[in-house]
Amino acid sequence: MWKSARRGAALLCAPLLGAALLASACGGGEQAGSGAQSQEKVTLSYAVWDATQQSAMQELAAEFTRTHPNIAIDVQLTPWADYWTKLKAASSGGAAPDVFWMNGPNFQLYASNGVIKPIEEQVDTSVYPKALVDLYTYDGKLYGLPKDMDTVGVWYNKTLFDAAKVKYPSDDWTWADFKKAAAELTDPDKGVYAIGAELTSFQEYQYNTIYQAGGYVISPDGRKSGYDDPKTIEGLKFWTDLLAAKQSPDLKTMTDTAPLQLFEAGKLAMYWGGSWDVAEFTKNDYTKDKVDVAPLPKGEKQATIIHGVANVMSAKTEHPAEAWEFVKFLGSKPAADILGRKGPIPAYTGTQSAWVSAHPELKLQVFLDAVAYAVPYPVSKNTAAWQEAELTNLTKAWTGEVPIEKAAANLAAGMNDLLAKE
Amino acid sequence: MTTTAGSRAVRAARVEKARRPRAEALWGYAFIAPTGLGLAIFYLWPVLQTAYFSFTEWGAFGGHTWTGLDNYTRLLGDPEVGRAVLNTLTYTALGLVGIPLAIVFAALLNRPGLRGVSVYRTAFFLPVVTMPVAVAMLWRWLYNGDYGLVNQVLATVGIDGPNWIADPATAMYALVVVGIWSSIGYNLIIFLAGMQAIPKELYEAASLDGAGRVRQFFSITLPMLSPTAFFVSIVSVIGSLQLFDLVFVMTGSGQSARANPAYGRLQTVVQLFYERAFVTNDRGYAAAIVIALLVLIAGLTILQFRLQRRWVHYV
């Protein structure tokens, strides 16, 4: 369900045995970051899942070893499809990598089970978007430093807008403007729809409209579902209305052909997508000279989901001091500068200009401006359990089998049961 | 008491005789030890462990607590389990159509004087050696409602085809077709071997008695093939009950499969197991699901062995 940074990952994986092989007296102690490290040579394993970022990670590792000659970093790539299964198995067996990538939906599961180590040192978190710092805080403790970030925008096909004589979306457009444009852009004769009301990426679709409508997915204490809130339902209705008006292809069609493919075939005028889609749309032959991006339309308020990957430390690492040094480096400005030249938007404030200027033809600033009103990706201790319930229940509303109010009520009940078990 | 040399020799021979089978048996065990050990360590032990875990609550990172029969009582009241069992049994039952089909094709391929037999055999067997994931991806495309080959062919005769694997009305049948298509080659090869083992004299005698081709097929080939058919049906039923990869890829892999409107008709028991074990971190319950499946498979296999007396003829 959570899509960002998972694309393009497909390469070999290195076994997670770096740490286990290293005989070590586990020096260092807990006073991390004092700069007084033991001169003993150590190797830290660093697990990541995105093949497209592997070279950037190796560059960061090399840069870290240059300033910390006694610490070598072994970057271990495991493709997304196997990453969590493998990490769970390794953590159960006490052989987790020293430092690894963490995402929002999985974070609380790892933190609440004591698999990852809280950050002891006082760090200045004001350099990262607050939503991301909140995302990686559990029980009042920060566990990871944000590495990158992504927000959501409306990618649109200028050619189809021109053909329908519809004005391009402005920076302050609203739900009403969006709905008006959607009606004008839909052209059944040509098989063109305004948008695909996608059900497999809540990060890019439902969560955004839920918060725009003033609703919520999960209560701040993580105990209660927000799906029975009338405003949340309003945010879901945004999509079911588009389906009912046939301004979106039906769910069957989107099951057979994903909205991304439809957009890239010129069948959808708009596509709500993450900042990570830049790579996709600038590479694709059809979209590369036809698309631009606008902010998400404003409902009762402005909102976009923000998510980002963080670097965390294993609770069982044999080198806690060195691991923290490395995590601190990865969360620093020099590291963000290296990352920003290569791939995703770095999370460190003020280092994002390289990312924006890489494609001057697109209004990428939209994604950075959105940080001001961004909402953290909703999570709890066992996020995956109720994410499954979201699909099970909302699929019935998407097909029209069950009215959205009823599907949302069922979902809220099911989700509350699951949250009670956490 | 005196023992003669003769009787001693007899006794020695007797001892020798008794020892030899034991020594042979030991060698026998030694030879199967590698496989046996492998089976014990990688199959039997995990099965026992799974059986144990099915009585526990087991979180994402190990650490289990004994919960007795909780998982099993939950299993009986879980509508998704009922649905998954029903889907799996439907798939298995419909999949049995593949057996008579395989027999018919095997009989056609077994006709004396047929040209290009090896070409046909290869064509039939190719799906068996193709990766199931590749097969599923390919069919996913063929079945695509808007761009799929199936619907484009139908369109030439004026039929507006459905979204085969996203439409609850057609999804299961679409799946069964792929299942049969990909297993028919394997069954067919076994049936061909069975047919070729039937003594030629029976057919000669039958034709002397004036039996035609069709009569020979029903009175000789079919009864003589029944042990083969029995084997094939046992293997197919077990295989069908364990269906996973095909559904996993064809419905839309991972959690997004649940956004397929036809998911309720396609979800199999093993898929449900996968979701509980690897998606929602509910491993104790997942263990109970597979143990229930094990019991179901064992039950159906015993039933088949019981019923074989009615239709299987051993020579």
Helix intervals (H) in B197-275: 200-208, 213-216, 222-241, 245-250, 263-266, 269-274
Say if CB A409 and CB A230 are below 8 A apart: no
Taking CA atoms, what residue in A is nearest to B251?
A: A255
Which B residues, 153 through 192, put their C-beta within 8 Å of a C-beta on chain A?
162-163, 165-167
Instruction: Give the C-alpha separation, B194 to B198, whole Å.
Output: 7
Taking CA atoms, what residue in A is nearest to B274?
A: A85
ipTM for the whole predicted complex goes beyond 0.85: no
Partners of B144 on chain A (C-beta within 8 Å) are 256-257
| Nearest by CB: A1 against B252, B255, B260 | B255
Instruction: Give the C-alpha separation, A252 to B162, whole Å.
Output: 9
Q: Which amino acid is at B186?
A: Y
Which B residues, 275 through 304, put their C-beta within 8 Å of a C-beta on chain A?
275, 278-282
Q: What is the DSSP letter of A375?
A: E
Residue A207, pLDDT score: 98
CATH architecture of residue range(s) A152-306+378-421: 3-Layer(aba) Sandwich (3.40)
CB B146 to CB A200 under 8 A? no
Q: What pLDDT digit, counting tens, does each position of A349-397 carry?
A: 999 988 998 899 999 999 999 999 999 999 999 999 999 999 999 999 9
Instruction: Give the C-alpha separation, A144 to A314, whole Å.
Output: 11
Instruction: Give the C-alpha separation, A219 to B104, whole Å.
Output: 62
Instruction: Give the C-alpha separation, A102 to A108, whole Å.
Output: 10
CB B281 to CB A92 under 8 A? no
CA quadruple A186, A187, A192, A196: dihedral sign = positive
What is the full per-residue pLDDT of chain B (315 aa) written as tens digits?
444 555 666 666 565 555 677 888 999 999 999 999 999 999 999 999 999 999 999 878 877 889 999 999 999 999 999 999 999 999 999 999 999 999 999 998 888 788 888 898 889 999 999 998 899 999 999 999 999 999 999 999 999 999 999 999 999 999 999 999 999 999 999 999 999 999 999 999 999 999 988 899 999 999 999 999 999 999 999 999 999 999 998 987 666 789 999 999 999 999 999 999 988 889 999 999 999 999 999 999 999 999 998 888 886
Residue to test with chain A: of B57, B163, B278, most A Cβ within 10 A: B163
Q: Are strands A304-306 and A374-376 parallel, antiparallel or unpaired?
A: parallel
Domain definitions of chain B by residue range: 5-53, 70-311
CATH class entry, domain A18-150+307-350: alpha beta
Block means of pLDDT (10 residues each) for chain A, 422 residues, are 40 33 35 50 95 91 95 94 89 92 95 94 93 94 96 97 96 97 96 95 96 96 95 98 97 93 96 93 93 97 96 95 96 92 88 90 95 94 94 96 97 96 88
Domain definitions of chain A by residue range: 18-150+307-350, 152-306+378-421
Q: Give the CATH fold of the B70-311 domain.
A: MetI-like fold (1.10.3720)
Question: Touching check for B77 and chain A: CB below 8 Å?
Answer: no
Query: How far B294 CA sits from the closest chain A CA (Å)?
Result: 24
Residue to test with chain A: of B83, B281, B285, most A Cβ within 10 A: B281
Which two three-digit tokens encode residue B213? 């081709």
Q: Which residues contact B93 (CB under 8 A, 6 or more apart)?
A: none
Partners of B261 on chain A (C-beta within 8 Å) are 251-252, 255, 395, 398-399
Residue A15, pLDDT score: 34
Partners of B81 on chain A (C-beta within 8 Å) are none
CB A92 to CB B62 under 8 A? yes
| φ, ψ dihedrals at A286, nearest 5° | -75, -45
Residue A40, pLDDT score: 80
| Nearest by CB: A388 against B62, B147, B275 | B275
CB B147 to CB A395 under 8 A? no
CB B252 to CB A200 under 8 A? yes
Residue to test with chain A: of B71, B144, B250, B256, most A Cβ within 10 A: B256
Q: Which candidate, A406, A383, A388, places its Cα nearest to that of B274?
A: A388
